[in-house]
Amino acid sequence: MPREAEPSLNEKQFVIQALQENLRLDGRELDQYRPLELSFGDQYGLADVKLGKTRVLAKATAEVTVPYTDRPLDGIFTIATELGPMTSPAFEVNRPTETEVLLSRLLEKTVRRSGALDTESLCLVAGQKCWSVRVDVHVLSHDGNLIDASCLAVVAALRHFRKPDTSMEAGVLTVYTPAEREPVPLSWLHSPFCVTWSFFGEEGEIAVLDATWIEEQVRVGSCTVSLNKHGEICQIAKLGGTPVEAVALLQCVSVSLTKVKEFSDLLDRKLAEDLKRRDKGGFMAELRAENDR
Amino acid sequence: MSNDRLFVLPGETIDPSLIPSHPKNPLRLGPGLRHIPPSDIVPTVAGQLITNPVKNFMSIEYNSTHYIPSQGDIILAQILRSTTDFYLCSLAPYTAPATLPHLAFESATKKTRPILSPGQLVYARVSLANAHMDPELECVHASTGKADGLGPITGPGCVFDVSLGFARRLLMARAVEDGGVGVLDMLGGEEGGGLAFETAVGRNGRVWVGSDNPKTVVIVGRALQETDRSRLGMERQRRLVKKLVREMRWRD
Amino acid sequence: MPLDTSTYNLALLRVDGRRWNELRRVHAQIRTQAAADGSSYLEMGHTKVMCVVTGPSEPGPRRGTGGGGAGGGGAAAGAGAKAEVVVSIVIAGFSSVDRKRHGRGDKRTLELQSTVANALAASLHTHLFPHSQVNISLHVLSQDGSLLAALINAATLACVDAGIPMTDYVAACTAGSTSTYAANDEGADPLLDLNHQEEQELPGLTVATLGESDRVVVLVCESRVQVSRLEGMLAVGVDGCKQVREILDRVVREKGRRMVQEGTVEKGIGLNEMDVD
């Protein structure tokens, strides 16, 4: 396994020294995100998030399966993360690294355990048939802050996703193709977003948002806060690292809330734009003989 | 760069009239060209063909991200660890390490050799680069015994990654005229308000920018990376420099 | 079984009869295993954890991914200028009510491992032991809430026993809030040290602090809770950590005093001026 390339001493020293003067290598403010781009694919449930040079693709899919025996009334919802050699040569296929485990746990806690998706609505026939919704997260390029980008991609993909419509008549379950009936969106309860803080300095007194890869390699600790726009914390994870004053952490959480509201607005706007793009003018427009050609 | 240069693709035949023919000097082939006996010269990469009839030299100018060491290249290496006789250095991430003998420094003896810690940067020259062998580096001119500016890099500053083609353009003797890179001159000149900084450009696509003022380092680094990434021309480089300097002033 | 919060409002007593700011009984021992470099046994209520520390020693053959390593020179740990802290956690099958098999590759366990490793790496003076490794193995014998807190406390004690230089104790405990996130109830009381039942029903978080300071090493919250509640919960949690630190400190001092009494260690050379009791 090739080792992760480590930054040189000169770089490490400079990044820290510059941060102490409120200066970052790319000229951003400490609490400023890199330019964030969100786009949707032609298919439903494909979201592509670009955060500077970091790029994450999430794809949501659904299929009908048998529910777990201990939860007959719930559908199945899984998030699969993959950090392969495409992300960085230090990652190998089928060998989860610590980064990958922590990333998938964070997404799991943020999106799944916080109840963002109503899994009961995925149940079709109690104990026999249910929808299994799966989101695959592919990290295409890694330049730091995978967590925030992946979380946004997952939430965007799920909110964009439409599953085929179904009906139950006299014990017969019918799944309609998109041509027969317009697919329906998932029953979505709230949209959580992750905001990751990186700490620098002897006492962890410098808090920085959206760290790049080199900053991540130099940082002394990090804290990921997941919130939704209603001000509910879904998850906080400061897993060790240099101790940080409790008051500073509270400050971080309150700043995170404003960032989460920005993410939420961005996602709503992009979804509305996408809907507009797809809307060709309803049923009558589809019946017309003209086409784009 | 002038546009009249020929663009070639791998395997293409090169018009014999373009191949320089000097009466005395033997023909020298630079990177990207291969000689297939008896007399075929075939490009192995896509890029612009460069010919120099005076030196009887031809090569291909191309941009890539993977650095392949070749003899005489000035590079910026990073010490990985030390062994009994030499340092192991990395020239690029995920590649085989290069060796830098402990005694390949200016006036170094067994007792006075510089002690370098892992992670430190060294400005060095590739002294040996053979296929299937780890490249060898030196920080001293083998015949004169002078460092000529090579050696460990100390002092405040940071490294910025650029593409290999851009690093080559920066290293050209006349970077502004031939390479089309004027940002460094502009930053130090009137557009940048006379910023004081020094640079060390490595052929392996790494540029070290040093200055006592971290702001200057950040401006220079961003200017270089932006020029490289967006392939800016002279006029746009000038505008970029002005913009960056203004932004930094505003932050004070 | 939903928690009867109405009882709490009437009597201000929790299901197990504690008040809001009471810890459960914490019982701890150090030097439980004679063969180990450092060992400890810790009970927080019915959560029981055993810990064995080996090292700092020469790192063994590198295990592929496995136990969360931390503290070394990042990825290049082998050539690291710091000791690497490697934690492995075994959760016994009989530790909880429902007998579940926890594989070693379980993501939750991996996360716990990495959290404990990173938390201790913040306090241990790993830079004193280049090219070496500190192995911490934790065994969970019984679970009744506050698992992560118990793991961190046990690991801290075992590291103290092993005599690895460290800045201060890393003490951890949990804190919660009396009503679920749904009720936007401003009058909700914070709670200290959640047991399993409370952990299932109520929002809560795990805090670990360094020594007597207010500096937070670990902060893990896994349930939905209003932002406004966080401050109260965190304050109670940090306060609880200070209490836990006192308890841990007492355990260590008591053991030291007994060892001097029994003559296991001589109270003499260099220890004269030190206040062992």
CA A173, distance to chain mean position in Å, is: 32
What are C12-27's pLDDT values in tens digits?
788 888 888 889 999 9
In chain A, count H helices and then E strands.
6, 15
**Site of tokens 């952490």:** A249
Q: Which token pair is C138?
A: 């934790």
Please, which residues 228-247 of chain B have a Cβ atom closer than 8 Å to chain A? 244, 247
Question: Nearest chain C Cα to B82, which residue?
Answer: C79
Q: What is the DSSP string of chain C?
A: ----HHHHHHH---TTS--TTPPPPEEEEE---SSSSEEEEEEETTEEEEEEEEEEE---SPPSS-S-EESSSTT--TT-SSPEEEEEEEE-TTSSSS-----TT-HHHHHHHHHHHHHHHHHB-GGGSTT-EEEEEEEEEE-SS-HHHHHHHHHHHHHHHHT--BSS-EEEEEEEESS-TTS--TTPPEEES--HHHHHHS-EEEEEEETTSSEEEEEEE-S-EEHHHHHHHHHHHHHHHHHHHHHHHHHHHHHHHHHHHHTSS-S-TTTTTS---
**Where does the pLDDT of residue B2 fall: very low under 50, low under 70, confident under 90, or very high at 90 and above?**
very low
What φ, ψ does residue A105 adopt, rounded to 5°? -65, -40
Least confident range from A119-128, B10-19, C142-151: namely B10-19
CB A227 within 8 A of CB A233: yes
* Nearest-CB residue to B214 (from A7, A10, A18): A18
CB-CB neighbors (< 8 A) of B94 in chain A: 2, 5, 89
Query: DSSP E strands: which ranges in chain B?
Result: 7-8, 28-29, 33-36, 40-43, 47-52, 57-61, 74-82, 86-90, 98-101, 121-128, 136-138, 151-152, 157-161, 198-202, 206-210
- Nearest chain B Cα distance for residue C74, angstroms: 13
Any B CB within 8 A of C269 CB: no
Which chains contact A through at least 3 pairs of Cβ atoms less than 8 Å apart? B, C
**A246–C230: do the CB atoms touch at under 8 Å?**
no
Compute the distance between CA of residue B223 and CA of residue B237 in angstroms, rounded to an integer.
8
Q: pLDDT at residue A71 above 60?
A: yes
**Site of tokens 């940067």:** B121
Size of chain C in residues: 277
| Residue percentage of chain C with pLDDT more than 90 | 43
Question: Nearest chain B Cα to A5, which residue?
Answer: B93
Any C CB within 8 A of A97 CB: yes
Any A CB within 8 A of B94 CB: yes
Which DSSP letter does residue B16 get?
Answer: G
Compute the distance between CA of residue B74 and CA of residue B171 in angstroms, rounded to an integer.
9
* Nearest-CB residue to C118 (from A6, A239, A247): A239
Any C CB within 8 A of A72 CB: no
**A102–C114: do the CB atoms touch at under 8 Å?**
yes
Q: pLDDT at residue C184 above 70?
A: no
Residues 6+ apart with CB under 8 A from B6: B18, B48, B49
**B156–A12: do the CB atoms touch at under 8 Å?**
no
What are A18-29's pLDDT values in tens digits?
999 888 988 888
Which uninterrupted H or E stretch holds C247? helix C227-262
pLDDT of residue B23: 78
* Nearest-CB residue to C227 (from A203, A242, A253): A253
Compute the distance between CA of residue A27 and CA of residue A49 in angstroms, rounded to an integer.
22
pLDDT of residue B55: 82
Compute the distance between CA of residue C59 and CA of residue C83 in angstroms, rounded to an integer.
9
**C234–A203: do the CB atoms touch at under 8 Å?**
no
**B214–A21: do the CB atoms touch at under 8 Å?**
yes
Q: Which token pair is A251?
A: 């400050």
- Nearest chain A Cα distance for residue B163, angstroms: 15
Which uninterrupted H or E stretch holds B224? helix B214-230
Q: pLDDT at residue C5 above 60?
A: no
> What is the rounded average pLDDT for all residues in chain A?
88
Q: pLDDT at residue C4 above 90?
A: no
**Site of tokens 């130099």:** A218
* Nearest-CB residue to C225 (from A98, A233, A249): A233
Compute the distance between CA of residue B81 and CA of residue B116 in angstroms, rounded to an integer.
9
Any C CB within 8 A of A85 CB: no
Q: pLDDT at residue A148 above 90?
A: yes
CB B209 within 8 A of CB B199: yes
Cβ contacts from A onto C, under 8 A: 125
What are C190-244's pLDDT values in tens digits?
889 988 888 888 888 999 999 888 899 999 999 888 888 888 899 999 999 999 9
Q: What is the ipTM of this complex?
A: 0.88
CB-CB neighbors (< 8 A) of B93 in chain A: 5, 89
Q: Report the first-to-last Cα separation within chain B, whole angstroms.
A: 37
**Average of pLDDT values for B120-147?**
87
Residues 6+ apart with CB under 8 A from B15: none
Which chains contact B through at least 3 pairs of Cβ atoms less than 8 Å apart? A, C
**B222–A27: do the CB atoms touch at under 8 Å?**
yes
Least confident range from A55-64, A89-98, B230-239: namely A89-98
Compute the distance between CA of residue A118 and CA of residue A106 in angstroms, rounded to an integer.
19
CB-CB neighbors (< 8 A) of B81 in chain A: none
Q: Which token pair is B104?
A: 């390949």
Question: Nearest chain B Cα to A23, which residue?
Answer: B215
How far from C271 is each of A225, C31, C79, CA to CA, in Å?
Answer: 46, 20, 36
Question: Nearest chain C Cα to B117, which residue?
Answer: C81
Upper half-sphere CA count for residue C42 (Cβ side, 13 Å): 32
What are A113-134's pLDDT values in tens digits?
888 899 889 998 888 889 999 9
CB B237 within 8 A of CB B230: no
**A3–C114: do the CB atoms touch at under 8 Å?**
no
**B222–A9: do the CB atoms touch at under 8 Å?**
no
- Nearest chain A Cα distance for residue C199, angstroms: 14
CB atoms within 10 A of CB B11: 10
> What is the rounded average pLDDT for all residues in chain C?
82
- Nearest chain B Cα distance for residue A84, angstroms: 15
- Of the residues A9, A34, A215, the best mutation for testing chain B's interface (the one with the most B CB atoms within 10 Å of its CB) is A9
**C219–A238: do the CB atoms touch at under 8 Å?**
yes
- Nearest chain B Cα distance for residue A35, angstroms: 15
Size of chain A in residues: 293
CB C38 within 8 A of CB C53: yes
- Nearest chain A Cα distance for residue C156, angstroms: 13
Q: pLDDT at residue C70 above 80?
A: no
Neighbour-count burial for A227-253, b at 16+ CB within 10 Å, e otherwise = bbbeebbbbbbbbbbbbbebebbbebb
Question: Nearest chain A Cα to B226, which residue?
Answer: A26
Size of chain B in residues: 252
Any C CB within 8 A of A96 CB: yes
* Nearest-CB residue to A3 (from C65, C75, C215): C75
pLDDT of residue B50: 83
Least confident range from B190-204, C141-155, C263-277: namely C263-277
